[in-house]
Amino acid sequence: MGNGLIPLVNRLQDAFAALGQSCLLDLPQIAVVGGQSAGKSSVLENCVSRDFLPRGSGIVTRRPLVLQLVTAKTEYAEFLHCKGRKFTDFDEVRQEIEVETDRITGVNKGISSIPINLRIYSPHVLSLTLIDLPGITKVPVGDQPPDIEQQIRDMIMQFISRENCLILAVTPANTDLANSDALKLAKEVDPQGLRTIGVITKLDLMDEGTDARDVLENKLLPLRRGYIGVVNRSQKDIDGKKDIKAALLAERKFFLSHPAYRHMADRMGTPYLQKVLNQVKPDSLWYETAFIVIDLH
């Protein structure tokens, strides 16, 4: 693919953010949709090879986070609202996201459409643009309005309903695929499954004697673009600060050694997912990949 569109999209996102608005141009994008505890945050952090996203219960993402990944020789992060400051400590990146979120939304779990723009330069990333949107909530908390679920849903739908938006539907393997929040939302706007890719997480947590082979072979609920399996760090691994590189090696070992998955190991795992996202061309409108990340709670 050419390298012209992503820098242009990044500049457009920055320009709109400087005006305090979201960029609503109908650009090619990949929307990542995942239910509560589906493992979406871990998938994203694995793609960056860094822990940098806020975690917790309820709505963690309360403002759109425009995350621009840029392949570079050195690793650091920059925020549009902190011009001239380079962050090399990714714990500070997480803290800055939380502080900047609270600055606009307050500390009572409110939401805002004003984006936070974060750019990460690293030799461990592929050049992609992500927009992380607030997750769906069922019950208002704090000072949230009673219709917050509808507000968030409307915000999500304005992105994934676009015809040139590829949907990455993240679903844990230890739940019923038919009840996947991600696939349900995707089906509303893509009933034929033409622009949806399934991502199956938590394969290592399935009950003994069971597996997701039929799903990953695209036999159960077929999608034109199929499914990719990934194995993320457990909460214990995250709390224990397990290195993401070590986790990726463990993920590779899992697929190579599992009797149900080893025949397809080269088409599974986070590195393969990154490669697919970086190379995908859904139709003539797609020149590069930009993706929108949606966390459902």
How far apart are alpha carbons 45 and 78 in whole angstroms? 17
pLDDT of residue 287: 40
Mean pLDDT of 69-80: 93
In sequence order, the β-bridge partners of residue 200 are 171, 229
Query: Which among 266, 272, 270 has a CA at the least distance from the CA of 250?
Result: 270
How far apart are alpha carbons 107 and 286 in whole angstroms? 39
Q: Which residues contact 74 (CB under 8 A, 6 or more apart)?
A: 121, 123
**pLDDT tens readout for residues 153-208:** 788 787 788 887 888 898 999 888 888 888 988 899 999 988 899 999 999 999 88
The backbone torsions φ and ψ at residue 68, rounded to the nearest 5 degrees and listed phi first, read: -105, 115
Three-state SS at 228: strand
pTM to 2 decimal places:
0.80
* First vs last C-alpha separation in the chain: 35
Please, which pLDDT band fits residue 5 given cuts at 50, 70 and 90? low
90 to each of 47, 52, 81, 143, 185, how far by Cα in Å? 14, 5, 17, 30, 32
Q: Hey, what amino acid is at 253?
A: K
**pLDDT tens readout for residues 77-107:** 999 999 889 999 999 999 999 999 999 887 7
CB neighbourhood size of 210 (10 A) = 10
- Element (H or E) spanning 29, and its range? strand 29-34
How far apart are alpha carbons 262 and 217 in whole angstroms? 12
